[in-house]
Amino acid sequence: MPFETSSLKAKSSTSFDQLTQFLEKELTKVEDKKNVVPFSDENKRKQTSALEENSTRIKNGHMEMPIELSLDSDEELNCSSGDVSNGRIIVDLADLIGSHRFSVQDTLNDSVRNMTIFGRIGLDFSDVATSAPIESKAFTHEPENCTDVEDCIRRLKSDDEHLTEVNLNNMKRVSRERIHALMKAAQKSTHIEKISLANTAIGDQEAQFLVHLLEHSKSLSAINVESNFISPKMVVRLVKSLLRTQSVIEFKAENQKQSVLGFKYEEDVSRSVESNFSLLRIGIPLQSVHCRNRVANAISRNFEAGRVEFIFHTKLKRKNY
């Protein structure tokens, strides 16, 4: 409500006390705000009667579920009815505190699924911890490579038509001189098709001998130099050497000491692959998505060209017959 203008002076010594008395007097004249809904004892009685009714329903087992639950499996149904094992409770607690990694995996899975392990009943986290034998997996060791390097060199020099593949994989004791002699002898062979030098600890100097072989051999179709110590620059030179004869359809050079080639060398590799119309399979790690797409498109193009050529020759043969 509006207040009347006071006639007190502004700088009076008793102005504050008089103002306080005036405000108290005026506030007593203001009526309290009325309640929209008046208070009655019926509201309180309704609440107490509802609580008593719910308690009686709980005792009789006819209590309706206050919230809607989604029970997708029998396991959740058992948990909702109160049949919760100690193992499941511990699993839930371990999930909360993040200590589930300390439990045994079989016991953890058994408690989650509420099943028994190996047909034994009552095996959960409440049992005594016992040691179990660990099943050891038997790995078959690859036999040692017993390829006779000297015999291969001799047969390559004589252009043996039965020698179409030379496999020196995992032979790290072959000297650089023997590899050089092998590559030089392979240049004279017109029947060699595949050379494998995976995990032979060769470097750029040995790979240089392979570059000369790829530039001169027209019968070679597959090269494998994985798991070695070839630098990215030499890998690019190997890929470029395939353009001379374009007879190689498979080239593998993954898992080198320097796993990342670099964007510059990856561009050179993709450019060389795009210029190669015979390469069908290549194994070189490329980090750039653009370079990988270019290489994949070039390989798909070569496959499609080979398919069209095969269909053409097939129709030509049928026509001649």
Tell me the sheet residues that pair with 196.
167, 224
Element containing residue 78 per DSSP (H, E)? helix 74-80
Identify which of 121, 99, 94 has the alpha carbon closest to the alpha carbon of residue 110: 121
Contacts 24+ apart (CB under 8 A), 100-107: 106/132
Which band of pLDDT confidence, cut at 50, 70 and 90, is reported for residue 114?
A: low
Task: Please state the domain extents for the chain.
Answer: 83-124, 149-320
Q: How far is CA 160 from CA 34, 292, 295, in A?
A: 115, 39, 36
pLDDT (tens digit per residue) in 123-166: 455 555 555 566 666 656 667 788 999 999 999 999 999 999 99
Give strand ranges (E) for the chain. 165-167, 194-196, 222-224, 250-252, 281-283
Highest average pLDDT, of 50-59, 113-122, 232-241, comes from 232-241
Q: How far is CA 128 from CA 120, 123, 124, 255, 316, in A?
A: 14, 9, 9, 48, 78
pLDDT, averaged across the chain: 77
Tokens standing for 253?
A: 């050079």
- pLDDT of 277 > 80? The answer is yes
Amino acid identity at 28: T
**Residues whose CB is less than 8 angstroms from the CB of residue 283 and which lie 6 or more positions away in sequence, other chains included:** 226, 251, 252, 253, 254
Q: What is the pLDDT of residue 16?
A: 75
- pLDDT of 187 > 80? The answer is yes
8 A C-beta contact, residue 129 and residue 150: no
8 A C-beta contact, residue 156 and residue 128: no
Q: Is the pTM of the predicted complex or chain greater than 0.75?
A: no
Query: What is the full DSSP assignment across 169-212?
Result: TT-TT--HHHHHHHHHHHTT-SS--EEE-TTS---HHHHHHHHH
Identify which of 265, 264, 181 has the alpha carbon closest to the alpha carbon of residue 230: 265
Tokens standing for 187?
A: 């240049």
Determine which of 31-45, 105-119, 215-229, 279-293 has the lowest per-residue pLDDT on average: 105-119
- pLDDT of 254 > 80? The answer is yes
Q: Does domain 149-320 have CATH number 3.40.1350.10?
A: no
pLDDT (tens digit per residue) in 25-76: 887 887 777 766 666 665 555 555 666 666 666 556 555 555 454 544 555 5
Report the SS3 class of residue 233.
helix
pLDDT (tens digit per residue) in 188-233: 999 999 999 999 999 999 999 999 999 999 999 999 999 999 999 9
Tell me the sheet residues that pair with 167.
196
